[in-house]
């Protein structure tokens, strides 16, 4: 079951491919020092790390992202040129930091000040930051496994919204931003931790035998869960998240939502 139009889905698949290429190019780098890793005491860990990245690399990701987006929407070129003129090394560093902490306010103001579409700067900054977030979450995995992951991804702070029932029947949440994964008890709310069977309800979807929505009557939160046991090929989580948007519609139509990002500012 899929409610996305073909063009949009193709674009999302292209973004995924590009993102995997970026991640590969970071494979050999190490973004944290042993001292930094040992000093981690609070979660989400990444926004507190004050990472300095290679801004030229970040800029290259942004440029490649422009190229990809221009192919499907040539009318964006003018907007991209405006952004290009802004991106000094100093601003690139700022973009990375503000994207990591999801400072929408910063990006919306910047867009307004420079006559750029309001959604665009954050969208660009965020996508180009994700490979770094993914690299960081894998470098920090040892520390992250000790975190209490309730309500937010312990690596980047994103509220949990999608998980899978893995091949061994366990429920596993994966952050679509930084790809950190953690197991969670089946009947547990990923947002508030409620474990009362009567308060956690599983919405099944007609015509979709592998997608379910776990809703919580205590906090009104939900998570999408895909049963992968019958699947031969599993899409990468960011793509699965987008392709399962029909599950978000169902949850939201029933009055459930994803709590706002918290604890990163
Ligand atoms: Zn994350
Ligand atoms: Zn809850």
How far, in Å, is the centroid of ligand 2 from the Cα of 262? 15
Per the CB < 8 A criterion, the answer to whether 15 and 130 are in contact is no
Going from the Cα of 197 to the center of ligand 2, the distance in angstroms, rounded, reads 12
CA distance 145 to 44: 12
pLDDT at 143: 94
Q: pLDDT at residue 2 above 50? A: yes
- Which residues, by Cβ under 5 Å, contact ligand 2, an ion? 189, 191-192, 194, 216, 218-219, 221
Residue 131 has pLDDT above 80, yes or no: yes
Q: Measured in angstroms, how far is the CA atom of residue 50 from the centroid of ligand 2?
A: 31
Nearest to 30 by CA among 55, 52, 47: 52
Helices (H) and strands (E) in the chain, counts: 10, 6
222-227: strand order across its sheet: 181-184, 171-174, 162-165, 222-227, 208-216, 200-205
Whole-number Å distance, alpha carbon 219 to ligand 2 midpoint, is 4
Separation of CA 220 and ligand 2 centre (Å): 6
| Confidence bin at 3 (pLDDT 50/70/90) | low
What distance in Å separates the CA atoms of residue 49 and residue 111, rounded to the nearest whole number? Answer: 27
152-207 tens-digit pLDDT? 999 999 999 999 999 999 999 999 999 999 999 999 999 999 999 899 999 988 88
Three-state DSSP class for 212? strand
Tokens of 48: 């507190």
Alpha carbon distance 127, 149 (integer Å): 23
Nearest ligand for residue 215 CA: 2
**Cα 206 to averaged position of ligand 1 atoms, centre (Å):** 30
Non-local CB neighbours of 28 within 8 Å, separated by 6+ positions: none
Place of tokens 């990444």: 46
CB 174 within 8 Å of CB 162: yes
Contacts of 172 (CB under 8 A, 6+ apart): 163, 164, 165, 166, 181, 182, 183, 184
pLDDT at 208: 81
Distance from Cα 191 to the centre of ligand 2, integer Å = 5
Convert the pLDDT of each residue in 25-77 to its tens digit.
999 999 999 999 999 989 999 999 989 899 999 999 999 999 999 998 999 99
Distance (Å, whole) CA 115 – CA 138: 37
């Amino acid at each position: 079951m899929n409610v996305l139009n073909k063009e949009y889905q193709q674009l999302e698949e292209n973004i995924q491919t590009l993102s995997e290429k970026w991640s590969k190019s970071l494979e050999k780098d190490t973004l944290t020092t042993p001292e930094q890793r040992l000093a981690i005491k609070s979660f989400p860990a990444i926004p507190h790390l004050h990472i300095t990245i290679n801004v030229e690399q970040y800029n290259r990701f942004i440029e490649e992202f422009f190229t990809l987006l221009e192919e499907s929407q040539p009318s964006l070129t003018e907007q991209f040129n405006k952004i290009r003129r802004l991106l000094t090394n100093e601003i690139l560093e700022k973009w990375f930091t503000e994207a990591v902490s999801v400072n929408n306010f910063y990006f919306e103001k910047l867009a307004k000040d420079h006559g750029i579409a309001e959604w665009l700067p954050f969208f660009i900054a965020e996508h180009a930051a994700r490979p770094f977030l993914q690299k960081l979450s894998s470098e920090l995995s040892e520390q992250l496994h000790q975190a209490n992951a309730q309500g937010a991804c312990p690596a980047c702070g994103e509220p949990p919204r999608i998980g899978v029932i893995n091949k061994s029947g366990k429920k596993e949440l994966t952050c679509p931003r930084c790809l950190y994964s953690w197991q969670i008890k089946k009947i547990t709310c990923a947002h508030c931790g409620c474990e009362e069977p009567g308060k956690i309800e599983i919405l099944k979807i007609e015509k979709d035998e592998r997608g379910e929505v776990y809703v919580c009557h205590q906090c009104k939160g939900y998570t999408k869960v895909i049963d992968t046991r019958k699947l031969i090929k599993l899409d990468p989580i960011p793509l699965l998240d987008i392709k399962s948007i029909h599950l978000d519609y169902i949850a939201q139509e029933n009055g459930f939502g994803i709590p706002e990002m918290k604890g990163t500012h």
